[in-house]
Amino acid sequence: MLILTPKLTCDKLPPDMLPIYNLETAKQTILRRTAPDLQEVPPEILDRIESLFGERLNPTQAVRRILEDVRAHQDEALRRWTERLDGVSSHELRVPDSDIRQALQNLPERTRQALREAARRIEEFHRHQPLHSWLMQGKEGTLGQLVRPLRRVGIYVPGGSAPLPSTVLMTAIPARVAGVTQIAMVTPPSRTSGGIHPVTLAAAAIAGVDEVYAVGGAQAVAALAYGTESIPAVDKIVGPGNLFVTLAKQQVYGTVGIDGLAGPTETMIIADETANPEWIAADLLAQAEHDFLASAILLTPSVEVAKAVQIQVVRQMEGDHRFAALSRERILEKSLKNQSGIILIQDLEQAIEVANQFAPEHLALAVAHPWQWVEKIHSAGAIFVGEQSYEVLGDYIAGPSHVLPTGGTARFASSLSCLDFVHVVGLVALRPESSRKLAPLAAEIAYQEGLDGHAHAALRRQT
């Protein structure tokens, strides 16, 4: 590993808090993807599972036990697991509508205005997505596709370390625009109050959520998938969550639809010599503060920019003349050292190649002429074009949903959108003469497949 240490000395944090790598070393470390089923589970998680179940289970086995329990015992199991995992007992699962309305009413005006403007922009963006049915009518008859909204969906909103009203907006609003009839939201109750943070409830009111339930984790996913006395089953579950939520979504897939399997959040920034090191450092820190496994990576051909960003990372973590020290220092230290870094590359062409191979959740272009590179990017959850289009705006207010593919799945997956909340139904309405004309051809293909019943069903209409 190539680490370039700037001259800055620091009493509290090491100057190389964000390491600098050459490309070959980075490919073996921070750029290396590990398949989900091969990832090591931290011992503290295994210890926690053992304390709950009385035996050494892996997370997949533990989640299966919870799902089976909720499926069999419904609300009773929900309350029991919420008490064991979240420390909240004897609570009502559904949040009264009056509490949701009151939360919006009591919200500070400044916060209410910010959430309403974010909601407006998210709705406006998603109303541009094509969701139209179409029919092709001709002499043979009519063929077409009917786009139908899902009837009932569940959105999962994390709430363990902090309230996430933005996730409420980014999941519920696309569903509402798509025409979903019923939107049910689940989110973990607070350990201290036993309820849901008021700003989360206010966001639910703004987004048009129909039902809110104070339950989280794998047990909430089970309730949405199988239904309980209090929570009717849904057609699809969307939204990010921790390891146990993700495993639960994976295991209930088929009973319900899911949007995808969320992994740790990640960002990649491509910067040239014109980039602002202070802004780049701020963007990297904004991503790295999410959790211990967050990944924040900078690609640049400029050693000067790399060193300047490295210095800025330390300064901003400790606080400078404009802003106080960042509050999530312990999370930042781990995420920056373990999954993040600055990678020195030859040129921007190579940076684009690396980015396409890595397929990051977020890809920012902090370069002099960003638009000339956009067409060359084919694997990213979202692209942020230019330094004024920074990722934090995408997280909260720009318009597209911030629920994005992670873990390299941006090679084939897309951001959450209205398309996740509809299904397409094919339509066939042929005229009798066209049906007779096509029957022998269909029968021939059926015979080749050894399906004589299919062939006969076509040929019987010839007589």
Asked if residue 167 and residue 24 are part of one domain, the reply reads no
151: its two tokens: 């009837």
Give CA–CA dist 266/338, Å, rounded.
13
Q: Which residues pair with 186 in a beta bridge?
A: 156, 213
- Residue 162 — φ and ψ, nearest 5°? -165, 150
Give CA–CA dist 263/405, Å, rounded.
8
Per-residue confidence at 12, pLDDT binned at 50, 70, 90?
low
85: helix, strand or coil: helix
Give CA–CA dist 395/294, Å, rounded.
15
Asked if residue 235 and residue 101 are part of one domain, the reply reads yes
Asked if residue 372 and residue 256 are part of one domain, the reply reads no
Does residue 238 lie in a domain region? yes
Asked if residue 319 and residue 196 are part of one domain, the reply reads no
Residue-wise pLDDT tens digits, 393-424: 999 999 999 999 999 999 999 999 999 999 99
How high is the pLDDT of residue 2?
37
Asked if residue 268 and residue 191 are part of one domain, the reply reads no
Count Cβ neighbours within 10 Å for each residue of 40-72 and write b for 16 or more, e otherwise. eeeeeeeeebeeeeeeebebeebbbebbebbbe
Residue-wise pLDDT tens digits, 288-305: 998 888 999 999 999 999
Average pLDDT across the chain, whole number: 93
76: helix, strand or coil: helix
- Residue 138 — φ and ψ, nearest 5°? -155, -165
427: its two tokens: 């339509």
Per-residue confidence at 3, pLDDT binned at 50, 70, 90?
very low
Does residue 326 lie in a domain region? yes
Asked if residue 195 and residue 143 are part of one domain, the reply reads yes
Does residue 107 lie in a domain region? yes
Mean pLDDT, residues 157-175: 92
Residue-wise pLDDT tens digits, 137-157: 999 999 999 999 999 999 999
Give how many domains the chain has, as a whole number.
3
How high is the pLDDT of residue 92?
86
Q: Which residues pair with 365 in a beta bridge?
A: 270, 385
Catalytic residue numbers read: 361-362
Per-residue confidence at 320, pLDDT binned at 50, 70, 90?
confident
How high is the pLDDT of residue 440?
96
Give CA–CA dist 80/87, Å, rounded.
10
Per-residue confidence at 36, pLDDT binned at 50, 70, 90?
confident
Give CA–CA dist 30/407, Å, rounded.
12
Q: Could you tell me the end-to-end alpha-carbon distance of the chain, in angstroms, rounded to an integer?
A: 77
Per-residue confidence at 374, pLDDT binned at 50, 70, 90?
very high
**If 0-12 CB within 10 Å is exposed, 13-18 middle and 19+ buried, where does residue 249 land?**
buried
Asked if residue 334 and residue 239 are part of one domain, the reply reads no
How high is the pLDDT of residue 9?
37
Per-residue confidence at 5, pLDDT binned at 50, 70, 90?
very low
Higher model confidence: residue 381 or residue 13? 381
Give CA–CA dist 231/237, Å, rounded.
13
Does residue 5 lie in a domain region? no
Asked if residue 276 and residue 377 are part of one domain, the reply reads yes
Residue 17 to residues 304, 360, 450, Cα–Cα distance (Å): 17, 22, 65
pTM: 0.91
CATH number at residue 76: 3.40.50.1980
Count Cβ neighbours within 10 Å for each residue of 437-450 and write b for 16 or more, e otherwise. eebeeebeebeeee
Neighbours of 265 (CB within 10 A): 23
How high is the pLDDT of residue 91?
74
Asked if residue 339 and residue 219 are part of one domain, the reply reads no
Asked if residue 315 and residue 327 are part of one domain, the reply reads yes
How high is the pLDDT of residue 39?
77
Does residue 14 lie in a domain region? no
Does residue 11 lie in a domain region? no
Q: Which domain holds residue 321?
A: 20-32+264-407
Asked if residue 342 and residue 249 are part of one domain, the reply reads no
Residue-wise pLDDT tens digits, 263-279: 899 999 999 999 999 99
Nearest to 284 by CA among 274, 302, 271, 273: 271
Does residue 8 lie in a domain region? no
169: its two tokens: 């907006």
State the amino acid at position 177 in one-letter form: V
Looking at the chain, the whole-number percentage of residues with pLDDT higher than 90 is 84
Does residue 310 lie in a domain region? yes
Asked if residue 225 and residue 119 are part of one domain, the reply reads yes
Residue-wise pLDDT tens digits, 87-133: 888 678 999 999 999 999 999 999 999 999 999 999 999 999 989 99
Residue-wise pLDDT tens digits, 170-203: 999 999 999 999 999 999 998 888 889 999 999 9
* pLDDT score of 257 more than 50: yes
Per-residue confidence at 32, pLDDT binned at 50, 70, 90?
very high
